[in-house]
Chains A and B, each alone.
Chain A
Amino acid sequence: MASSISKRKKTNLILSEITLIIISLIIMAPVLLALSMSFMKPTEVYTFPPKLFPSSFHWQNYVEALQLVNLGRMLLNSAIVAFFITFGKLVTGTLAGYAFANFQFKGKNISFMILFITLFLPAETVMILPLFLIMKQFGWINTYYALIIPFTASATNAFLMRQHFLTIPKELSDAAKIDGATSMQYFWRILLPLSKSMLGGAALINFVYAWNLYLWPLIATMDDKMKTVQIGVKMLIDAEASNNWGTIMAGTMIALIPTLIIFFAIQNLFVKSLVSSGLKG
């Protein structure tokens, strides 16, 4: 009896293992096949049935992708935009989270509500037209300001940090008070250092979000010099039409590899913060 159960368990495990291998392959297939194609010569691209691997590493596709639509400059733009959005969100989010977690003040509930409602007003999509018109009035179209500043604060970050700060024992702030530290000294010297992993996770989620923005950069930039890589890939598709998928896939790789590397490197941190931001409100 016992041995048949363990035997069944073993078959189950093997079945699960095989299923997971297949699922992983299916899910990674679009990326892996694109990577493979990005190294194929134009003649190889059109072989039938399609080849799985390139016969040699044809780097020319990457060179072409970078030249055809100035993808290098766009990479730089994406990096600048994603960095400053992330930085801004962390600053505003930690400050607001600190206010909500550690202070009692008049209007706390109402300001919390005002912030909460923004969760359901997706600026990047629904508000796209008025946002564009306002940016035009500011004269910010085609500038980094338009790409960065509207996205430097969000309720998600404030709530995430608030939840985290609430888990830090009150005794610490009491002790800081007794030692004569000001509230900002406590914030800088005790609260933030204790929140390193949470800040790291939030930074990653925000960075990926900002790097992947599409609709707003599409509208807010006309000059190719100000576009981000996401838009670059679209331009590459339009420029190449269906002529050279090798080049398009090379461009795609250039646009997706930074976030993918970050994700692979620190997946645990990522997942932890994502779950705590979602499940705790």
Chain B
Amino acid sequence: MSWKSKLTPYILLIPTFIIIIIFIYWPAAYSFKLSFYQESFFGNRSIFVGLDNFTDLFTDPEYYSVILTSFIYSFSSVFLTILIAFLISQLLVQNIPGTRLFRLFIFAPYAISPAIAGTLWSFLLTPTVGYLNYIFLELFGIDTDWLTTTPYAFIAVMLATIWKMLPFDLIFYIAGLQSIPDSLLESSMIDGANLWQRMWKIKFPLLSPITFYLFIMNFTTTMFASFGIIDIMTKGGPLGTTTTMIYKLYLDAFAFQNNGSAAAQSIVMFAIMGVITFIYFHNVEKSVHYQ
């Protein structure tokens, strides 16, 4: 293709656009359509019901508790992960012997899938066999079936989530810390700032764009992608205390075959995504140039 051909860039974009239109935009539009329909009693045809699916959803107190669970789970996991990652990252940028090896080990959960993370933590917490269960029993006298009792199931799911998400945040904080000029930290040391002050008054504010990025990414991960952890560890139980929005969507769509409600739920999740997108754009526009 010659450089002057006006067609070249379009041809280059065709493969990507075919895929995203068929497998992202079409399903998104289809979700919209489905959310206005309900299956008939015998499941043989769809009936247009307008906004019924949405009103059903929002008059159901159970759905509110699912939303609440999702948000509590997401915010607390994200908050803890970011905090822990920020603290550990301080250690990983010092030139300590073996740093490369430490990073290798600490980053490892990044490569492990949510489902496997869920399996590993189920095993650690399982009664009679689990090591962590044993430690909790010996140290704190907690003898419980972690995955089937409240509030332990919720804590168990959070532990796995934080463990899985931590490396991602660490990688970004380390990159960020390394980009802070040494001169800045040295001059603050001369001014008498101690370790703790340097960390929170200088480094943390300087890294706030990264914290913001991580918050958005982690929030999406916990809202949407931790399905594997929950499905393996608790299946949404006990008594729905670990049923997040995505898990309920899955149950309604594939266990109860309630397509209309599931579609309406995905629209609600789109809306949440839309808000996140807006917040992200609104803040990032100023600092990052895409074009």
Binding site for B on A (CB under 8 A): 13, 16-17, 19-21, 23-24, 27-31, 33-34, 37, 45-46, 48-50, 91-93, 95-96, 98-99, 103, 105, 108-109, 111-112, 114-118, 120-134, 149-153, 155, 158, 177, 182-184, 208, 211-215, 218-219, 230, 233-234, 237, 242, 245, 248-249, 252, 255-256, 259-260, 262-264, 267, 271, 274-275, 278-281
Contact A127 B24, beta carbon cutoff 8 Å: yes
A97 to chain B, nearest CB (A): 9
Contact indicator per residue, chain B 31-65, by CB within 8 Å of chain A (1) or not (0):
10010000000000000000000000000000000
Whether A262 contacts B129 in the complex (CB less than 8 A), given A120-B276, A121-B24, A130-B28, comes out as: no
A-B contact count (CB 8 A): 281
Contact B88 A122, beta carbon cutoff 8 Å: no
Give which listed residue, B23, B166, B254, contacts A27 with CB less than 8 A: B166
Contact B20 A149, beta carbon cutoff 8 Å: no
What residues on A are CB-neighbors of B291 within 8 Å?
A: 109, 112
What residues on A are CB-neighbors of B254 within 8 Å?
A: 129, 132, 219
Q: Does B71 contact A (CB under 8 A)?
A: no
What residues on B are CB-neighbors of A31 within 8 Å?
A: 108, 112, 120
Which B-chain residue is minimally distant from A19 (CB atoms)?
B91
Contact B119 A252, beta carbon cutoff 8 Å: yes
Contact B113 A125, beta carbon cutoff 8 Å: no
What residues on A are CB-neighbors of B172 within 8 Å?
A: 275, 278-279
Contact A214 B9, beta carbon cutoff 8 Å: no
Contact B12 A98, beta carbon cutoff 8 Å: yes
Contact A230 B15, beta carbon cutoff 8 Å: no
Whether A27 contacts B111 in the complex (CB less than 8 A), given A125-B246, A150-B19, A245-B129, comes out as: no
Give which listed residue, A215, A248, A278, contacts B217 with CB less than 8 A: A278
Q: Does B283 contact A (CB under 8 A)?
A: no
Whether A129 contacts B34 in the complex (CB less than 8 A), given A92-B15, A105-B6, comes out as: yes
What residues on A are CB-neighbors of B98 within 8 Å?
A: 17, 20
Whether A134 contacts B27 in the complex (CB less than 8 A), given A46-B128, A252-B120, A278-B213, comes out as: yes
Could you show 29 A-B contacts with beta carbons less than 8 Å apart? A20-B96, A30-B121, A37-B129, A99-B10, A112-B291, A115-B16, A120-B276, A122-B224, A125-B225, A126-B266, A129-B249, A129-B259, A129-B262, A130-B31, A130-B34, A130-B263, A132-B253, A134-B27, A150-B19, A182-B2, A212-B112, A212-B116, A215-B227, A233-B119, A245-B123, A256-B116, A263-B111, A264-B104, A271-B175
Binding site for A on B (CB under 8 A): 1-3, 5-6, 8-10, 12-13, 15-20, 22-28, 30-31, 34, 88, 91-92, 94, 96-99, 101-117, 119-124, 126, 128-131, 134, 138, 163, 166, 168, 171-172, 175, 210, 213, 217, 220, 224-225, 227-228, 231-232, 246, 249-250, 253-254, 259, 262-263, 266, 269-270, 273-274, 276-277, 284, 288, 290-291
What residues on B are CB-neighbors of A155 within 8 Å?
A: 20
The 4 tightest CB contacts between A and B, nearest first, are A212-B113, A153-B19, A263-B111, A130-B30
Q: Give the interface SS of chain A, mostly helix, strand, loop or mixed.
A: helix
What residues on B are CB-neighbors of A177 within 8 Å?
A: 3
Complex Cα–Cα for A141 and B99 (A): 46
Contact B12 A256, beta carbon cutoff 8 Å: no
What residues on B are CB-neighbors of A121 within 8 Å?
A: 24, 28, 270, 273
Whether A183 contacts B109 in the complex (CB less than 8 A), given A16-B91, A281-B290, comes out as: no
Contact B106 A23, beta carbon cutoff 8 Å: yes
Contact B112 A256, beta carbon cutoff 8 Å: yes
Contact A126 B113, beta carbon cutoff 8 Å: no
Contact B107 A230, beta carbon cutoff 8 Å: no
What residues on B are CB-neighbors of A233 within 8 Å?
A: 115-116, 119, 232
Contact A95 B2, beta carbon cutoff 8 Å: no
Contact A183 B3, beta carbon cutoff 8 Å: yes
Q: Find the residue from A121, A184, A264 having the highest chain B CB count within 10 A.
A: A121
Contact B126 A245, beta carbon cutoff 8 Å: yes
Contact B171 A271, beta carbon cutoff 8 Å: yes
Contact B134 A28, beta carbon cutoff 8 Å: no
Give which listed residue, B22, B107, B129, B273, contacts A50 with CB less than 8 A: B129
Whether A262 contacts B227 in the complex (CB less than 8 A), given A33-B131, A129-B266, A134-B27, comes out as: no
What residues on B are CB-neighbors of A134 within 8 Å?
A: 22-23, 26-27, 30
Whether A27 contacts B106 in the complex (CB less than 8 A), given A92-B16, A121-B270, comes out as: yes
What residues on A are CB-neighbors of B263 within 8 Å?
A: 129-130
What residues on A are CB-neighbors of B107 within 8 Å?
A: 263, 267, 271
